[in-house]
Chain A
Protein backbone atom coordinates (compact mmCIF):
# COMPACT_ATOMS: atom_id res chain seq x y z
CA UNK A 1 0.00 0.00 0.00
CA UNK A 2 1.37 3.37 -1.02
CA UNK A 3 1.91 5.53 2.02
CA UNK A 4 0.66 8.61 0.15
CA UNK A 5 -2.48 8.31 -1.93
CA UNK A 6 -4.15 10.95 -4.06
CA UNK A 7 -7.60 11.21 -5.55
CA UNK A 8 -8.82 11.59 -8.15
CA UNK A 9 -6.16 10.45 -10.61
CA UNK A 10 -7.66 12.56 -13.38
CA UNK A 11 -9.91 15.57 -13.20
CA UNK A 12 -11.49 17.73 -15.86
CA UNK A 13 -13.26 21.00 -15.19
CA UNK A 14 -14.76 23.98 -16.93
CA UNK A 15 -13.13 27.33 -16.46
CA UNK A 16 -14.39 28.98 -13.30
CA UNK A 17 -15.17 25.79 -11.40
CA UNK A 18 -13.99 25.12 -7.86
CA UNK A 19 -11.48 22.24 -7.79
CA UNK A 20 -10.59 19.91 -4.92
CA UNK A 21 -7.75 17.38 -4.94
CA UNK A 22 -7.32 15.03 -2.00
CA UNK A 23 -4.29 13.44 -0.39
CA UNK A 24 -4.22 10.79 2.34
CA UNK A 25 -1.11 9.63 4.13
CA UNK A 26 -0.57 6.77 6.50
CA UNK A 27 2.00 7.96 9.02
CA UNK A 28 2.51 10.94 11.29
CA UNK A 29 4.33 13.71 9.48
CA UNK A 30 6.44 16.80 10.04
CA UNK A 31 5.12 18.51 6.93
CA UNK A 32 3.08 17.75 3.83
CA UNK A 33 4.03 19.16 0.46
CA UNK A 34 1.91 20.12 -2.54
CA UNK A 35 3.70 20.43 -5.87
CA UNK A 36 2.67 21.40 -9.39
CA UNK A 37 4.09 19.93 -12.58
CA UNK A 38 3.30 21.50 -15.93
CA UNK A 39 3.67 19.68 -19.27
CA UNK A 40 7.36 19.64 -20.07
CA UNK A 41 8.34 18.39 -16.65
CA UNK A 42 9.38 21.18 -14.31
CA UNK A 43 8.02 20.88 -10.77
CA UNK A 44 7.20 23.83 -8.57
CA UNK A 45 6.63 23.68 -4.85
CA UNK A 46 3.23 25.20 -4.00
CA UNK A 47 2.85 24.63 -0.28
CA UNK A 48 4.48 23.00 2.68
CA UNK A 49 2.19 22.72 5.68
CA UNK A 50 1.99 20.89 8.96
CA UNK A 51 -1.27 22.27 10.33
CA UNK A 52 -4.31 24.34 9.44
CA UNK A 53 -4.53 26.11 6.14
CA UNK A 54 -2.38 28.07 3.72
CA UNK A 55 -3.48 30.32 0.86
CA UNK A 56 -1.63 31.68 -2.13
CA UNK A 57 -3.72 33.50 -4.70
CA UNK A 58 -6.46 31.16 -5.87
CA UNK A 59 -4.83 28.12 -4.28
CA UNK A 60 -5.70 26.92 -0.79
CA UNK A 61 -4.19 23.95 1.01
CA UNK A 62 -5.65 22.45 4.16
CA UNK A 63 -4.53 19.65 6.39
CA UNK A 64 -6.26 17.58 9.07
CA UNK A 65 -3.58 15.93 11.18
CA UNK A 66 -5.98 13.64 13.08
CA UNK A 67 -7.49 12.27 9.89
CA UNK A 68 -4.15 12.22 8.04
CA UNK A 69 -5.71 14.03 5.13
CA UNK A 70 -4.92 17.13 3.09
CA UNK A 71 -6.78 18.91 0.32
CA UNK A 72 -5.71 21.33 -2.36
CA UNK A 73 -8.41 23.68 -3.58
CA UNK A 74 -8.37 25.91 -6.64
CA UNK A 75 -10.95 28.65 -6.77
CA UNK A 76 -12.14 30.13 -10.10
CA UNK A 77 -10.11 27.61 -12.09
CA UNK A 78 -8.44 28.70 -15.31
CA UNK A 79 -6.96 26.75 -18.25
CA UNK A 80 -3.48 27.76 -17.09
CA UNK A 81 -4.11 25.70 -13.92
CA UNK A 82 -3.96 22.58 -16.10
CA UNK A 83 -1.12 20.54 -14.67
CA UNK A 84 -0.34 17.51 -12.55
CA UNK A 85 -0.65 18.18 -8.82
CA UNK A 86 1.44 16.04 -6.52
CA UNK A 87 1.38 15.65 -2.77
CA UNK A 88 4.28 14.29 -0.76
CA UNK A 89 4.89 13.41 2.87
CA UNK A 90 7.68 11.78 4.83
CA UNK A 91 7.36 8.00 5.01
CA UNK A 92 7.34 5.58 7.92
CA UNK A 93 10.53 5.72 9.99
CA UNK A 94 12.17 8.13 7.60
CA UNK A 95 12.17 11.79 6.78
CA UNK A 96 12.50 11.08 3.06
CA UNK A 97 9.55 12.29 1.05
CA UNK A 98 7.13 9.75 -0.38
CA UNK A 99 5.34 11.13 -3.41
CA UNK A 100 1.80 10.45 -4.54
CA UNK A 101 1.26 9.48 -8.15
CA UNK A 102 -0.32 12.83 -8.94
CA UNK A 103 -3.67 14.21 -10.08
CA UNK A 104 -3.84 15.31 -13.70
CA UNK A 105 -6.09 18.37 -13.95
CA UNK A 106 -7.40 19.75 -17.23
CA UNK A 107 -9.38 22.96 -17.21
CA UNK A 108 -11.26 23.75 -20.40
CA UNK A 109 -12.32 27.23 -21.49
Chain B
Protein backbone atom coordinates (compact mmCIF):
# COMPACT_ATOMS: atom_id res chain seq x y z
CA UNK B 1 0.00 0.00 0.00
CA UNK B 2 1.50 3.29 -1.09
CA UNK B 3 2.14 5.79 1.60
CA UNK B 4 3.02 9.36 2.37
CA UNK B 5 3.88 9.72 6.04
CA UNK B 6 3.98 13.00 7.89
CA UNK B 7 5.96 12.91 11.08
CA UNK B 8 3.57 14.77 13.38
CA UNK B 9 -0.21 14.90 13.37
CA UNK B 10 -0.46 17.70 15.91
CA UNK B 11 2.10 20.28 16.99
CA UNK B 12 1.91 23.26 19.30
CA UNK B 13 4.73 25.78 19.06
CA UNK B 14 5.46 29.24 20.35
CA UNK B 15 5.96 32.35 18.25
CA UNK B 16 9.55 32.60 17.06
CA UNK B 17 10.32 28.90 17.34
CA UNK B 18 11.86 27.01 14.42
CA UNK B 19 9.52 24.28 13.22
CA UNK B 20 10.31 21.24 11.09
CA UNK B 21 7.59 19.27 9.34
CA UNK B 22 8.81 16.04 7.83
CA UNK B 23 7.31 14.06 4.99
CA UNK B 24 8.42 10.68 3.69
CA UNK B 25 7.03 8.74 0.72
CA UNK B 26 7.78 5.15 -0.18
CA UNK B 27 6.62 5.18 -3.80
CA UNK B 28 9.80 6.44 -5.45
CA UNK B 29 7.86 9.50 -6.64
CA UNK B 30 9.77 12.29 -8.30
CA UNK B 31 7.47 15.11 -7.22
CA UNK B 32 6.70 16.23 -3.70
CA UNK B 33 4.55 19.10 -2.50
CA UNK B 34 3.71 21.05 0.63
CA UNK B 35 0.27 22.64 0.90
CA UNK B 36 -1.49 24.48 3.64
CA UNK B 37 -5.23 24.33 4.17
CA UNK B 38 -7.26 27.01 5.93
CA UNK B 39 -11.03 27.27 6.44
CA UNK B 40 -12.79 28.87 3.48
CA UNK B 41 -9.70 28.63 1.28
CA UNK B 42 -8.68 25.85 -1.03
CA UNK B 43 -5.38 24.08 -0.58
CA UNK B 44 -2.57 26.48 -1.36
CA UNK B 45 0.82 25.40 -2.60
CA UNK B 46 3.77 26.49 -0.48
CA UNK B 47 6.69 24.75 -2.20
CA UNK B 48 7.26 21.78 -4.43
CA UNK B 49 10.19 19.71 -5.57
CA UNK B 50 10.58 17.63 -8.71
CA UNK B 51 13.94 16.11 -7.89
CA UNK B 52 16.48 15.71 -5.14
CA UNK B 53 17.92 19.06 -4.10
CA UNK B 54 15.52 20.87 -6.43
CA UNK B 55 12.81 23.16 -5.10
CA UNK B 56 10.36 25.63 -6.56
CA UNK B 57 8.25 28.26 -4.87
CA UNK B 58 4.53 27.79 -4.89
CA UNK B 59 1.91 30.44 -4.37
CA UNK B 60 2.62 31.29 -0.72
CA UNK B 61 6.31 30.61 0.05
CA UNK B 62 6.89 33.58 2.36
CA UNK B 63 7.98 32.51 5.82
CA UNK B 64 8.78 28.95 4.72
CA UNK B 65 11.71 27.04 3.34
CA UNK B 66 12.12 23.42 2.26
CA UNK B 67 14.77 20.76 1.99
CA UNK B 68 14.98 17.69 -0.19
CA UNK B 69 18.26 15.89 0.42
CA UNK B 70 16.86 12.46 -0.42
CA UNK B 71 14.25 11.46 -2.97
CA UNK B 72 11.86 10.06 -0.38
CA UNK B 73 11.99 12.95 2.10
CA UNK B 74 10.70 16.51 1.78
CA UNK B 75 10.91 18.79 4.79
CA UNK B 76 9.07 22.04 5.39
CA UNK B 77 10.77 24.54 7.68
CA UNK B 78 9.29 27.52 9.44
CA UNK B 79 12.34 29.55 10.40
CA UNK B 80 10.48 31.68 12.94
CA UNK B 81 6.92 30.56 13.49
CA UNK B 82 4.20 33.17 13.65
CA UNK B 83 0.56 32.93 14.67
CA UNK B 84 -0.61 33.38 11.07
CA UNK B 85 1.12 30.11 10.25
CA UNK B 86 -1.36 28.21 12.40
CA UNK B 87 -2.86 25.84 9.85
CA UNK B 88 -3.20 22.31 8.54
CA UNK B 89 -0.16 21.33 6.49
CA UNK B 90 -0.46 18.60 3.89
CA UNK B 91 2.34 16.86 2.07
CA UNK B 92 1.72 15.11 -1.24
CA UNK B 93 3.69 13.28 -3.86
CA UNK B 94 3.20 12.23 -7.45
CA UNK B 95 4.93 10.28 -10.12
CA UNK B 96 6.09 11.88 -13.32
CA UNK B 97 8.79 14.06 -14.67
CA UNK B 98 8.42 17.80 -14.93
CA UNK B 99 7.31 18.60 -11.42
CA UNK B 100 3.82 19.93 -11.77
CA UNK B 101 0.84 17.91 -10.79
CA UNK B 102 -1.82 18.80 -13.31
CA UNK B 103 -1.90 15.42 -15.00
CA UNK B 104 -0.50 13.22 -12.24
CA UNK B 105 -2.45 11.62 -9.42
CA UNK B 106 -1.50 13.03 -6.03
CA UNK B 107 -1.03 10.88 -2.93
CA UNK B 108 -1.46 12.85 0.28
CA UNK B 109 -0.23 12.39 3.80
CA UNK B 110 -2.59 12.52 6.78
CA UNK B 111 -1.77 16.14 7.52
CA UNK B 112 -0.02 18.00 10.33
CA UNK B 113 -2.10 20.46 12.32
CA UNK B 114 0.17 23.20 13.61
CA UNK B 115 -0.86 25.69 16.25
CA UNK B 116 1.43 28.65 16.93
CA UNK B 117 0.78 30.43 20.21
Contact A41 B88 (CB under 8 A): yes
Number of interface residues of B (CB under 8 A): 26
CB proximity of B117 to chain A, nearest CB, Å: 20
Interface stretch (choices A52-60, A63-71, A94-102): A94-102
Chain A interface extent, by class: 20 to 34
8 Å CB contact of B102 from A41, A43, A45, A96: A96
Contact B42 A4 (CB under 8 A): yes
Of residues 6 to 49 in A, which have CB atoms within 8 Å of B's CB atoms?
Answer: 29-31, 33, 35, 40-45, 48
Q: How many A-B residue pairs have CB under 8 A?
A: 69
| Cα(A45)–Cα(B43), bound, Å | 14
8 Å CB contact of A101 from B42, B58, B110, B111: B42
CB proximity of B9 to chain A, nearest CB, Å: 8
Task: Note all chain A residues with C-beta closer than 8 A to B108.
Answer: 35, 42-45
B113 beta carbon closer than 8 Å to chain A: yes
| Cα(A43)–Cα(B105), bound, Å | 12
> Which of A's residues lie within 8 Å of B, judged by CB?
2, 4, 29-31, 33, 35, 40-45, 48, 50, 86, 88-90, 94-102
| Cα(A43)–Cα(B107), bound, Å | 8
Contact B40 A41 (CB under 8 A): no
A-B contact pairs, 7 of them (CB 8 A): A33-B106, A41-B113, A43-B90, A90-B100, A96-B100, A97-B101, A101-B42
Which chain B residue shows the least CB distance to A41?
B111
Quick one: CB contact mask for B53-65 with A, threshold 8 Å, 1 for yes?
A: 0000011000000
| Cα(A104)–Cα(B90), bound, Å | 19
| Cα(A5)–Cα(B117), bound, Å | 33
| Cα(A42)–Cα(B35), bound, Å | 12
CB proximity of B40 to chain A, nearest CB, Å: 6
